[in-house]
Amino acid sequence: MSEVLRLKDIRRSFKQGGQTLEVLRGVNLSISRGEIVALLGPSGCGKTTLLQIAGLLENPSSGEIFVNGKKVASGADKLRTDLRRTQIGFVYQSHHLLPDFTALENLLLPQYIANVNKKEAQHRASKLLESVGLAARAEHYPSQMSGGEQQRVAIARALVNRPALLLADEPTGNLDPQTAEDVFQVLVQTIRSLKIGALVVTHNEDLAARMDRVLRLKDGTV
C-alpha cells in the first residue's frame, strides 16, 4: 500500500526558563493508506506535539516530513497550507463545530474553501452524513445533537475533502464509554471504506488494541 505519512528523525525542543526542553528526540514512523495506527503515551510526553507536526500545524526543530509522498519543508507555507486543506483531516477531543451552522453546512464550508463545486459538495456531505448514521440530522444545529452525534459530524467534516491522512487527537476522550464505542466504530468503518491512513492519539488501551498497529511515545521516541 502507498505511504501517506512518513516522519524521519523528528526532533522538537522548547526553551523554558533558560533551559532547553527536548520533547521529541528523533521520532521515526510511517503510515500507509488504509492503515489505522494508535499512538499511546503518558500525559505530557509529546503526543499532541507530534500530531501537530504530522499535520503541518507546527514545525519540528529538525527532521523530515513526507505527506502522500511529498517532502514538506518547514518554510514551505503555501505547500503546507495546500496539503492541510486537501490531504489531511483533523478530529479533536472537542468537536469544534460551528454552532450557527447545521450539520450539513458544517460539511459544506470546508469544501467551498477547497473550491469544490456546490453540487459535488452537497453530494459528498450528504453521503458522509449518511455513512456516519446522521442523514436525519442534516438540518440540525450542534446544540440540537448529542455529544456523540456532534463528534460523528466532526469525523464526517474531517473526511469530506477526501484526505489521504486523518489525524485524531483523543477523538472519544470526552464521551461516555458506550458513546465512545459507537463513535469509534463509526470512525474505523469510515476510514476503512475510504481507504485512508490514520494516526489516532488515545489513552484507551482497549480501543488502541483494535487498531492495526500500536505505537508508544516514551522519552521522546516511538
Q: Is residue 114 in a domain? A: yes
Residue 75: domain span: 3-15+22-205
| CA 9/CA 91 separation, integer angstroms | 25
Q: Is residue 220 in a domain? A: no
Q: Is residue 91 in a domain? A: yes
| CA 62/CA 183 separation, integer angstroms | 35
pLDDT confidence tier of residue 1, bands split at 50, 70 and 90: low
Q: Is residue 169 in a domain? A: yes
Q: If you count them, how many residues does the chain have?
A: 222
Q: Is residue 219 in a domain? A: no
pLDDT for 199 beyond 70: yes
pLDDT confidence tier of residue 30, bands split at 50, 70 and 90: very high
Mean pLDDT to the nearest integer, 110-115 = 90
Mean pLDDT of the chain: 90
The CATH number for 109's domain is 3.40.50.300
C-alpha pair distances (Å), 28 with each of 23, 54, 60, 124: 14, 11, 13, 34
pLDDT for 73 beyond 90: no
171, 95 in Cβ contact below 8 A? no
Q: Is residue 217 in a domain? A: no
